[in-house]
Amino acid sequence: MLKGMMKTKLFWPIIVLILILVINLFFDRSFFSIELRNGHLTGSLIDILNRGAPLILISIGMTLVIATKGIDLSVGSIIAMSGAIGAMTVADTASEGSGPLWMAIGLSLIICLVVGGWNGLLVSRVGVQPIVATLILMVAGRGIAQLITGGQITTVYYEPYSFIGGGYLLTLPFSVFIVAFVFLMAVLLTRKTALGLFIESVGSNADASRLAGINSKNIMLMVYMFSGLCAGVAGLILSSNVMSADGNNAGLWFELDAILAVVIGGTSLMGGRFYLMGTVIGALIIQSLTTTIYSIGVPAETNLVVKALVVLVVCLLQSAEFRRKVFGIGKVKPTGEQKGREGVTLS
Amino acid sequence: MAQQLAKLEMKNIVKEFPGVKALSDVQLSLYPGEVHALMGENGAGKSTLIKVLTGVYSIDQGTVTLEGKQVSINSPLKAQELGISTVYQEVNLCSNLSVTENIFIGREIKKYGRLAWKEMNQHAEKLLERLQLNIDVTKLLSSYSVAIQQMVAIARALNVSAKILILDEPTSSLDRDEVQQLFAVMRQLKKDGLAIVFVSHFLDQIYEITDRLTVLRNGEWIGEYKTEAIDRMELVSKMIGKDLAELEAISSKTTDISQSDTLESMLQANEVGLNGKISPFDLELRKGEIYGLAGLLGSGRTEMARVLFGADKADKGKMTINGKDVHFTTPRSAILNKIGFCSENRKTEGIIPELTVRENMILAIQSVYGWFRYLSRAKQMKIAEEYIQLLNIRPANPEQLIKNLSGGNQQKVMLARWLVTNPDLLILDEPTRGIDIGAKTEIMKLMTHLSKENKSILFISSEIEEILRTCDRIAVLRDRKKVQEFDNDRELTQQDLMKEMAGGM
Amino acid sequence: MINRLSLDYKQLPLVATISLFVLMFSFGSLRYTGFFSTQVFLNLFINNAFLIVIAVGMTFVIVSGGIDLSVGSVIALTSMVTASLTMEAQLSPFIVVPISLLVGTVLGVIQGALIHFYNLQPFIVTLAGMFLARGLSYMISVETIAIDHPFFNFMANSQIPVPGGNFISISVVIALIVVFIAMFVAHFTKFGRNVYAIGGSEQSAMLMGLPVARTKILIYTLSGFCASLAGLIFTFYMLSGYGLHANGMELDTIAAVVIGGTLLTGGAGYVAGSVVGVLILGIIQTIIVFEGTLSSWWTKIAIGALLLLFIVLQRVIVWRSEKKHANG
């Protein structure tokens, strides 16, 4: 039964992903070919994985936030902050030792955790709506990132730093390993502990969860911190990839792509059940869409129109009103509150 | 009076929701210049009937005749056009607008193509004066007390030149003086020829202000009576569905004399209370006893339970459990002290709709364990299957989403959620409401079984018979106060309880 | 009438906004020579005329409890449509201007209808609108289209003298007209009051028999129209069409509206407040320019800090009114 459900949730996203990849084959015969060059696997598929890494990462964080009925608009700015901190820490380093690298990673990630915690506190303790609470850092975070970089695109000459986003391990880009690690951690934490259950419970019915003894405030705090951490890692990858810090443009509009990936992956914006695997596929769809548009030779900016249509279709399919009007499912008006009150008869 | 043409006549009204017949063959007639009470317990169909009358719901069958003409009320707007206005318990106005606006919005006075605020303000002041209210109408509605907001809502209703005014529990958040003020206004309106439908859970008020009343129960029409011609006992028995004769018969069947005096004390509450919710009360629960809270809706029984569970934080008093001082700030702290609580609002405060039966069952025990010590899948399945069998839950599929279960089965899952935690005290707020006889009996049996295992149970029910049949001791609540405590021995009858619940005899 | 001076809690943010503006202007005047002049004040309007216009539209949206993320992209799209119709299709401004104004209006109608009829979240629908409008403007051209046309040059360069030897631009006049119309609509028309009612409680508005559907669609239409008009003003200002124009402008707009005292949860706010909100954003930039050594990112940080301040202020107001209800 559960397997069947998972299948239906993942079915359409997978089909869409395959479809996009197959379309590429018509324009580029060698699209699916992967070859070993200088001990590195190269090819379009590897490229999609590598370039998609930051998006997948923040989408994983975003999935948990959305599962609690929240949203995190600040991830794009956190990416910029993290990249800026990481790059600036090692910008003047001439040595080749790995000390500064750890320093850079540690510093960025700790700050991103704090920043995520700030969002979480505003949402869970102060009671600000998630959109509003994270809007603050969406605006200010980018300013802080620019402050750190001095508004310049600062180039990093410290070689080890390039390993995070540009290095290879066992013939695969290192960023793929990072994504795999974070994904596995997220799956382990949410599915092998009760955390996932609590998150879904809080997102589905926060009042009832409180009465069942769940500390919903802490759960919310935690997911925003995790989202901040994911964005931090993504920021390091992006900045290491180009060996520079760019406070202005790093991570611009990533939050919107991430929300899109989560929604495509089958997690509802109304909170509750979440699908990490679906999210990963959703992010891959968005990344391959971008790649495809490049390879077909359509102006890259058309991407935005396609994305807009995808968002609309997905949301309409999730809307009960739309399904009722179009497919005629569920004729009764879902006035939950009244039904609850008039629950008269019988089992 | 009887010859007078009824202002409004509702006949053979049927309203169904998926799987539930909310109203079956209900009628209601209203005459000009009367206050008509709509009586019934939870789920009787009062609010459905009101929503039908105000156009929020459309009816499946039946006719509505207004002043001799058959009408169909298909929207709130239409109802207003017909002169039917409603004042809801939760004031359904926009508190972010001024008093004047709340009275006029939708039918504003315009002058030279713009809204004429000056005229509207003057008009509003005049309207409110009629209700003996003299306030600054330009201030925001939210700056006034609920009582005044209610008056504003009535003023708005009157401004539509209402013929029929529906007051849905208008008094539940008013104090004594405010209620009297409201009644004065109602008498004035009555004199002006309005028909007023009045819903209240306070029997004193019903007898003070209403002329006639209609009783509903389980979506069925029970009868229409002149208020002065029906006494309290009879009214309460109509509402809860037991004839007087039958009551006598049952009450003599009360079974064993309880030995509860000899039992060890478990929980003690000293002057515990919460401002505006429940007056300070003393309560002692003993190990292995079933303690009943009897009272009409709004009597404070749910509020008392919530305070005991920490769902609402008590602002005065002291509580001890097994002699140890406790202070519950969250439900979690109560749960860690081995208390469980089944809310009466199963949909909003009980089930987690998107989760499965299994997940709903293990939620409370898992929250006790914390997130790191996750019950293994096998253990979860074992628990789920065990309780599905024990409580006879249908469908017997642990992986079914709970929102797809019927009310009775959802209730059993809620019970299972707490049984799994092995609580010392289980608070059950209307666990038998809205479920079939079979499930009811099973739940009652389970309660008796638990008490034999030395567990305490706090049982809230609208059905006096259930309380009398299962409880060892019973407290009666009225007007948010604990007014009386009984030992449930042979002499205690339903009448004794009802007398206390109704009060004023 | 006696207690005119006693403040409603809901008006507190507006009072705070105005005081903040006065404070910042005085700070600038004391610190920098040449700051305290009428022209510096008027320049705030000249440089931010388009922002004032979108903020007006956004105020209605936010007061009704919604949000509109598409406004920045609509400015870009309008500028592209205007530029390409004028320069490539060689159409007269009398045709170009109405068509440009239709761009955002039509998008607004569609967004409003989707939000109301399918019960979709405004956030997501207007997010799609944001992608769509920017994508469409790139599809017209990915390059900048410079405009060189007598009408646009006139609109861009005319200076309207005001007493004291200072001047304003035509755009400022347009923006001020929009502001006055909006203030009238908000407080003296049924539509305006319905917007506030819906923002206060959509359910109550429905039960009171107000035309919720029509009002909600009209709100997004209005916001779309304002965005298009702002797009035109922006085009006068920049004399070009470009897909990257007004990137992120929706955030500035939302920030201006919130700083202007409008509750993000809906139900309370003033058009005039949003105008002051825009002026505050403008004055932050002016101060940074006058300071010389401060960099532009301080604008963002300052806006973020102000957002935080006002959001917390709003929470406190809500808390206090809830408390009052519990006790009252």
Q: How far apart are CA B216 and CA B213, in angstroms?
A: 10
ipTM of the complex: 0.79
Residue B408 and residue B439 in contact, taking contact as beta carbons nearer than 8 Å: yes
- Same domain (yes/no): B78, B97: yes
The conformational region for residue B310 under phi > 0 = left, psi -120 to 50 = alpha, else beta, is: left
B32 and B132, same domain (yes or no): yes
Q: Chunked in runs of 10, what are the mean pLDDT values of chain B (505 residues)?
A: 66 79 86 88 78 85 86 83 80 83 84 85 86 84 80 82 82 72 86 87 82 88 88 78 52 43 79 85 88 82 89 87 87 90 85 90 90 87 90 83 81 90 90 68 82 89 80 87 82 78 67
Cβ-Cβ pairs closer than 8 A, B with C, add up to 80
Question: Would you call A143 and C307 a contact, using CB atoms and an 8 Å cutoff?
Answer: no
Which pair of structure tokens corresponds to residue A120? 């979480």
- Whether residues B402 and B429 share a domain: the answer is no
User: Are B174 and B126 contained in the same domain?
Assistant: yes
With respect to residue B466, please indicate whether it lies within any of the assigned structural domains: yes
Q: Are residues B86 and B175 in the same domain?
A: yes
Rounded alpha-carbon distances, angstroms, from residue B27 to B52, B236, B329: 12, 20, 47
Contact B93 C208 (CB under 8 A): yes
Q: Which residue of B has its CA nearest to C1?
A: B136
Total residues found in chain A within this entry: 347
**Domain parsing of chain C, residue ranges:** 2-318
CATH class of C2-318: mainly alpha
**C326 exposed, middle or buried (CB, 10 Å; 0-12, 13-18, 19+)?**
exposed
Tokens of C117: 């009829």
Higher pLDDT, A53 or B19: A53
Q: Indicate if B185 and B98 belong to the same structural domain.
A: yes
Does pLDDT of A337 surpass 60?
Answer: no
Tell me which residue of B319, B302, B296, B290 sits closest to B487, measured CA to CA. Answer: B290
Among A136, A150, A308, beta carbon nearest to C308: A136
Per-residue pLDDT of chain C (328 residues; tens, 9 = 90+): 333 334 455 567 788 888 889 999 898 888 888 888 888 889 999 999 999 999 999 999 999 999 998 999 999 999 999 999 998 888 888 999 999 999 999 999 999 999 988 888 888 889 889 889 988 988 888 888 988 888 988 888 888 888 878 888 999 999 999 999 999 999 889 999 999 999 988 888 887 878 888 999 999 999 999 999 999 999 988 888 888 888 778 888 998 998 888 888 888 889 999 999 999 999 988 888 888 777 777 888 888 888 888 888 877 877 776 665 554 4
Q: Does C316 touch chain A (CB under 8 A)?
A: no
Q: Which of B244, B261, B295 is the last residue of a domain?
A: B244
At the second CATH level, the architecture of A43-326 is Orthogonal Bundle (1.10)
Report if residue B272 sits inside a domain.
yes
- Domain assignment present for residue B442? The answer is no
Contact call for B48 and A204, based on CB within 8 A: no
Domain ranges of chain A: 43-326
Q: Does B165 map to a domain? A: yes
Chains that touch A (3 or more CB pairs under 8 A): B, C
Do B31 and B98 have their domain in common?
Answer: yes
> Could you say which of B224, B244, B264 is where a domain stops?
B244
Does the beta carbon of B53 lie under 8 angstroms from any beta carbon of chain C?
no
* C12 CA to centre of own chain: 21
CA A141 to chain centre: 18
Residue in chain A lying closest to B340 (CA): A212
* CB-based contact B280:B272 (threshold 8 Å): yes
Measured in angstroms, the CA of A220 and the nearest CA of chain B are apart by: 14
Tally of domains within chain B: 3
Per-residue pLDDT at B441:
72
Segment A28-51, tens digit of pLDDT:
777 777 777 777 777 778 888 888
Query: What are the Cα distances from residue A35, in Å, to A165, A166, C323?
Result: 20, 18, 68
pLDDT value of position A345:
26
Contacting residues of C for A127, CB less than 8 Å apart: 315
Q: Is B410 within 8 Å of B402 (Cβ atoms)?
A: yes
My answer on whether B168 and B77 are in the same domain is yes
- Does residue B408 sit in the same domain as residue B472? no
Contact predicate C275/C260, CB 8 Å? yes
| Mutation for A interface: C203, C294, C297, C317, most A CBs within 10 A | C297
* Structural domain range at position B396: 346-422
Top-ranked range on mean pLDDT: pick from A3-17, A29-43, A186-200? A186-200
Phi, psi of B27 (to 5 degrees): -130, 160
- Smallest CA-to-CA distance from A306 within B483, B165, B105, C132 is with C132
Q: Which of B241, B238, B243, B219 is nearest to B227 (CA)?
A: B238
Residue ending a domain, among B244, B267, B293, is B244
A273 has pLDDT over 70: yes
Q: How far apart are CA B478 and CA B483, in angstroms?
A: 6
Residues of A in contact with C120 (CB under 8 A): 315-316, 319
C contact chains, 3+ CB pairs < 8 A:
A, B
